[in-house]
Amino acid sequence: MVPEVGLYVAGKRKEGIDKHRLVSPVNGEHVATIALPGPADIEEAIAAARTAQADLAEWSPFERAALCHRIADGIETRIKDIAHIQTLEQGKPLTESVEDIEECVEYFRNAAEDAKRLKGDVIPTTDRNQRMFTFRRPVGVWANISPWNFPVMIPVEYLAPALATGNTMICKPPEFTAWALLALAEVFEEAGVPKGAISILPGGGEVGRALVTHPGIAAVAFTGSNLTGKQILAEMGIKRSIMEMSGNGPLIVSDDANLEAAAAAAVYGAYYNAGQVCCATERVIVLESIHDQLVAATLEAAKAVRLGDPFDPETTMGPLCNEATAAKMDRHVADAQARGAELLTGGARAEGFPTSLYYELTVLDRVPEASLVAQEESFGPVVPVLTVANDAEAAALANRSHLGLQAAVFTSQIDKAFWYADHIRSGTVVVNDSTDFWETFQPFGGAAGTETGWGRQRIEEFTDLQTVVFNLTGGEAPPTPLAT
């Protein structure tokens, strides 16, 4: 039987007002039916979140840390089950899904420990009879709008620090990748999350708009496309926000680089999660003097990528998640070729698979800068190679994108590596590794329309800074200073 998965509102399951027929990109089969919320469900979730937040704010940091550890414990017992659901609804290899859910455990544990060490300051004052302190307070009720490429991990990146600092959150995942996140509801119940502290309302833009514009929502945490992020910022009013709005990650290969390592990193950045990653390798910028050698190494590295059934342990790349992404790949490849780029391998939907969402790993050479594949986030398994004369041109080309999330540079010279770090406008610059590099505790993002962070930075983003000034005299005239 096809499971029917209810909404999670204020600690209970609900049927909603409509249903989404979830069809797997893996096999084209109807694998679940997802309930969709109506206006009453949204109002109930917000009201419950406000009540729960007032309660959670009274908990000590150590009580909230213990809650996060209990959630982490619960996820650990369900890693394989949740990973299986995620692969079925999203399409990424099961090995990658397992890694995602394992990272969710780490996010909750990190948040628990970071919250214990969230400190204020004692600030000097000009008046000897005053004392000034700062405290970190929870912001309130958050709306989280999350994407489909990491259906569980990205919401958890926000949920964990939110709970650890005394906030509550209403999550809005896309209806076609909501099943795995909804499966976490049992974990929240068993861990003792206060009723209403977390609600999960799958749906499209109308649900997200109702949340971010609601006066009962204090702040918005968003990961997704640049276009959607701009719409949210324009409509949400005066609210705190954390916005991570796409990337167009350049991987720069200088003339002293290890070419085999650079080629492997470029291909990995294209096939990991089928390129559906905000920090995927979207552009490979190579110096003309080593162009031929790098292209040859890239084609050799591409031979190792195995497109196939994501539940097969030998598979390294599964299908794309949805038709919109596959159609975008079609457009970008056709546009690049029309502008003079050379298709070296791939460039089409693979035949012989259960759905048309299995896309060949694609390598495009001599890609003009004006091509869509160089200007936009393709979000698919493509390696577009662009050529420049020198390092200065490489940095300038990397910076001409309005999306500056994460970049990579391959060089064997430490001074050149720091030169690139100084001259590339990107939230993160990775030296001699993939643009897809990340750790659960690193700062992430921060340039060209993107801002987000993990670890200590993220914990602070979920708090308001409060200053308290204390007059020791109780409002009376200050005592006469002691004689020296």
For residue range 336-365, what is the model confidence (pLDDT) as tens digits? 999 999 999 999 999 999 999 999 999 999
From the list 89, 244, 282, 376, the catalytic residue is 244
Element (H, E) at 54: helix 39-56
Q: Among residues of the chain, what percentage have pLDDT more than 90? A: 90
Mean pLDDT confidence for 141-156 = 98
Q: How confident is the model at residue 461 (pLDDT cuts 50, 70, 90)?
A: very high
pLDDT score of 449 more than 90? no
From the list 68, 104, 171, 278, the catalytic residue is 278
**Greater confidence, 402 or 125?**
125
Mean pLDDT confidence for 165-193 = 98
pTM of the model: 0.94
**Distance in angstroms (rounded) separating the CA atoms of residues 12 and 341:** 54
Q: Over the stretch 40-70, which tens digit does the pLDDT of each residue have?
A: 999 999 999 999 999 999 999 999 999 999 9
pLDDT score of 209 more than 80? yes
Least confident of 271-275, 357-361, 445-449: 445-449
Distance between the two ends of the chain, CA-based, in angstroms? 86
Active site residue 171: no
**Distance in angstroms (rounded) separating the CA atoms of residues 418 and 444:** 18
Element (H, E) at 232: helix 226-235
Q: Which two tokens stand for residue 412?
A: 């064997």
The whole-number pLDDT of residue 453 equals 60
Active site residue 278: yes
Q: How confident is the model at residue 480 (pLDDT cuts 50, 70, 90)?
A: low
Domain 250-431, second-level architecture? 3-Layer(aba) Sandwich (3.40)
Superfamily of 4-246+450-468 according to CATH: Aldehyde Dehydrogenase; Chain A, domain 1 (3.40.605.10)
Residue 470 has φ and ψ, to the nearest 5°, of -120, 120
Mean pLDDT confidence for 471-483 = 69
Q: Residue ranges of the domains in the chain?
A: 4-246+450-468, 250-431
The whole-number pLDDT of residue 438 equals 86
pLDDT score of 450 more than 70? no
Measured in whole angstroms, how far is the alpha carbon of residue 91 from the centre of its chain?
Answer: 17
The whole-number pLDDT of residue 455 equals 64
**Distance in angstroms (rounded) separating the CA atoms of residues 128 and 69:** 43
Mean pLDDT of the chain: 95
Q: Which two tokens stand for residue 122?
A: 């004692």
